[in-house]
Amino acid sequence: MVEDAPLWLFADQLGSHVHGGEHAHRRVVLIESAAALRRKRYHRQKLHIVLSALRHCAADLGDRATLLRAETYRQGLRTVGRPVLVHEPTSFAAERFVRQLRDEGLVADILPTPTFALPRAEFRDWAGERTRFQMEAFYRDQRRRFGVLMDGPEPVGGQWNLDAENREPPPKRARTLGVPGPYQPREDEIDERVRADLDAMGVDTVGVDGPRRFAVTPAEAERALRRFVEHRLPTFGRWEDAMLAEDWSMSHSLLSVPLNLGVLHPLRAVEAAERAYRDGHVPLPAAEGFIRQILGWREYMWHLYWHFGPDYTDANALRAHTPLPRWWRELDADAVSAACLRDALAGVRDRGWVHHIPRLMLLGNHALQRGYAPADLTEWFAAAFVDGFAWVMPPNVIGMSQHADHGRLATKPYAAGGAYINRMSDYCPRCPFHPKTRVGADACPFTAGYWAWVDRHHDLLDRNPRTSRAVASMHRLTDLDALLEQERHRDQF
């Protein structure tokens, strides 16, 4: 009987909003699949987080949960002895897989995804026949639908989007923002066992082992959310896009991991931020900026992943085919000279995480300029980042970062030279390259790379009103030929 079927949870469906409520009476099945752990070269800390989350969920549920360790999910389910219920998975491959399992009689039924605010069916209705999408329109409808930061039918403060107030460069001469650090979980016996098991399994990973920095249980997620809202959200918006070499987390929440594990529901984070604003604890631009990331951008990426379809990662509008360099794949930050790129790659190596600006404007910007194959880059981001699940990266990398989708998601490519990095960070004074120099031994690889990229794609950029000025500026460069020759042979970054 479906009414009594156990509930099988994937590792990104571990919150009480998944296995509680109407399903609180069901037994829960959790499976550690050795084959899934070996499927890609994941970051070592990512595998630790996933296994820790699964095992903590089993421990929290006690006798209600059965934790199985098997070579494959299918083998694990065969030991259950009866068909299970499962919520819609978060990738096309997993969705196809659970449908096969249903056909084989191992899955009794597939339930809607409970870990996002807007159901997939309602997004399909919203999308209709659109071929171009604007996040701002989606975000406003999300605010209206869920009544977030609203005064009746109008947005609080009279404006929907306060992003213009959230783009400040870092404070001059500051080495850190000086805010209390993010929540740091306390590792326990489960984490010790996970670390020992990973060592014994000999799984091939990238990155280094390290302390678990991210919440993996509902209780930890609540503590991380509370600390962020009380101590870090007030300064989040103002320096949301800034970078400081000695302040890896700035005022960011570090909630992407518990959100993507399903142990924190997005509306819970949104409600906490709105309450802090209405209580007078947090300025409106900070609350609105954070809410826009969660209720706007994150939900938007989730739904566009499904809307664009499984072939979206094949998109390559800029014909970028350069293989990822070995130093990039191996997270060999010591092989990189440019201070900003070295720091970003070291952050991935050491933590499996950097915030959204190093992802977009350092790693993504470099990859865009150098023409790295977007499908390979998407796989790399998904495997190397601790918050990288299959649904997250295609729209963020293919659409937002690499502009490989013919502009279906973003109206312009996110490319920039050293001037942007110099304005938004403190990297350039300690770098052997100079952000204003295009040609020569100290030519900034981002500045020179930007102009070489504009030259390579000048026809496309000239047709776009948002980028045509860059083409006109390129034509005024007196050293363009020397720059292009230099970049054809550059092997140092």
The whole-angstrom separation of Cα 128 and Cα 122 is 10
Q: Cβ neighbours of residue 330 under 8 Å, at least 6 residues apart?
A: 206
- CA proximity to 390, closest of 42, 98, 133: 42
CB atoms within 10 A of CB 39: 10
Indicate the SS3 state at residue 322: strand
CB atoms within 10 A of CB 126: 17
pLDDT at 413: 93
Which tokens sit at 333?
Answer: 């930050």
Largest CA distance in the chain: 76
pLDDT at 130: 82
pLDDT tens digits along 33-66: 999 999 999 999 999 999 999 999 999 999 999 9
- The answer to whether 451 and 396 have CB atoms below 8 angstroms apart is no
The whole-angstrom separation of Cα 366 and Cα 237 is 25
Q: Report whether pLDDT(247) > 90.
A: yes
pLDDT tens digits along 396-441: 999 999 999 989 999 899 999 999 999 999 999 999 999 999 999 9
pLDDT at 133: 79
- CA proximity to 377, closest of 333, 432, 328, 417: 328
In the chain, list all ranges with CATH 3.40.50.620: 2-111
Q: Which CATH architecture has domain 2-111?
A: 3-Layer(aba) Sandwich (3.40)
The whole-angstrom separation of Cα 446 and Cα 434 is 10
The whole-angstrom separation of Cα 194 and Cα 201 is 10
**Which pLDDT band holds residue 166 (cuts at 50, 70, 90)?**
confident
Which tokens sit at 120?
Answer: 């997939």
Q: Report whether pLDDT(1) > 70.
A: no
Q: Cβ neighbours of residue 452 under 8 Å, at least 6 residues apart?
A: 369, 483, 484, 487
pLDDT tens digits along 252-283: 999 999 999 999 999 999 999 999 999 999 99
CATH class entry, domain 121-200+215-307: mainly alpha
Which tokens sit at 187?
Answer: 């590792």
In the chain, list all ranges with CATH 1.10.579.10: 314-488
217 phi, psi to nearest 5 deg: -125, 160
Which tokens sit at 215?
Answer: 């919440």
Element (H, E) at 111: strand 107-111
Q: How much is the CA Rg of the chain, to the nearest whole Å?
A: 23
pLDDT tens digits along 360-370: 999 999 999 99
Instruction: Tell me the C-alpha to C-alpha distance, in Å, between residue 164 and each of 286, 289, 375, 421.
Output: 11, 10, 32, 18
Q: Cβ neighbours of residue 318 under 8 Å, at least 6 residues apart?
A: 368, 371, 402, 403, 404, 413, 457, 460
Distance, C-alpha 212 to centroid of its chain = 18
Q: Report whether pLDDT(492) > 90.
A: no
Q: 314-488: which CATH topology?
A: DNA Cyclobutane Dipyrimidine Photolyase, subunit A; domain 3 (1.10.579)
**Which pLDDT band holds residue 212 (cuts at 50, 70, 90)?**
very high
Helices and strands per DSSP (H, E), number in the chain:
25, 7
Q: Report whether pLDDT(2) > 90.
A: no
In the chain, list all ranges with CATH 1.25.40.80: 121-200+215-307
The whole-angstrom separation of Cα 68 and Cα 76 is 6
- The answer to whether 13 and 163 have CB atoms below 8 angstroms apart is no
Q: Mean pLDDT in the chain?
A: 96
Element (H, E) at 69: strand 65-70
Q: Which residue has the higher pLDDT, 153 or 131?
A: 153
Which tokens sit at 314?
Answer: 């094949």
The whole-angstrom separation of Cα 443 and Cα 295 is 41
